[in-house]
Amino acid sequence: MKFCIALGSNLGNQRQVINTATSLISTKIGKVLKESELYQTKPLLHKQTVCRQQNDFLNSAILIESELPPEEVLSSLLSIEIELGRDRSQSGKWEPRLIDLDIIAVESIIIDSLGLKIPHPEMHKRKFVLEPMQDIWPDWRHPILGKTCEELFNDLCSRKVD
């Protein structure tokens, strides 16, 4: 199966952390078929979060091929985050992070379980997800919305939303 994995970091040596995560994914999960460019983006902040300065994120996406089921891929991604130094007990949803690894899409599969939602439910609203994904899988079609990644990205850009 083909997976789109989003990678993001706004702490430490971001470029090195993303490169190391990509190598670990290749070793532990599956073959990396394509890698996007790196994109610098502003952190996503919740309107009720106490505003404090955060570094910009570096975001990218990779297209991988794996024989593992999505649940095992997710478990492996969480293990890689821990191996690279992410402490999820200290990291809230809107907090800075050394590494963030998310499954964005898996072919035309839909999963809606407590611990895993595929496609990622917010992907079509996030330029920092769609822009790198468009580099690696522009013709992927959202199985619920019926639009390609490229169409979703163009729709988002026309609304001028980050």
Q: Cα-Cα-Cα-Cα dihedral of 147, 152, 154, 155, to 10°?
A: 100
Does 87 qualify as catalytic in the annotation? Answer: no
Annotated catalytic residue, options 87, 88, 100, 139 = 100
Residue 9 makes CB contacts below 8 A (sequence gap 6+) with 17, 18, 57, 58, 97, 98, 99, 100
Mapped onto helix, strand or coil, the DSSP state of residue 125 is helix
Pick the catalytic residue from 86, 155, 159, 162: 86
Q: Which of 15, 56, 97, 112 is catalytic?
A: 97
Question: Quick check: is 86 catalytic?
Answer: yes
- For residues 49 and 51, give the distance between their C-alpha atoms in angstroms, rounded to a whole number: 6
Answer yes or no: are the C-beta atoms of 38 and 18 closer than 8 Å: yes
Tell me if 66 sits within 8 A of 101, measured CB to CB.
Answer: no
Choosing from 102, 139, 155, 159, the catalytic residue is: 102
In angstroms, the CA 119 to CA 74 distance is: 13
- Told to judge if 135 belongs to the known catalytic residues of this protein, a careful annotator would answer no
3-class secondary-structure state, position 65: strand
CA angle (35 as vertex; 30, 41 as ends), nearest 5: 125
Catalytic residues: 86, 97, 100, 102
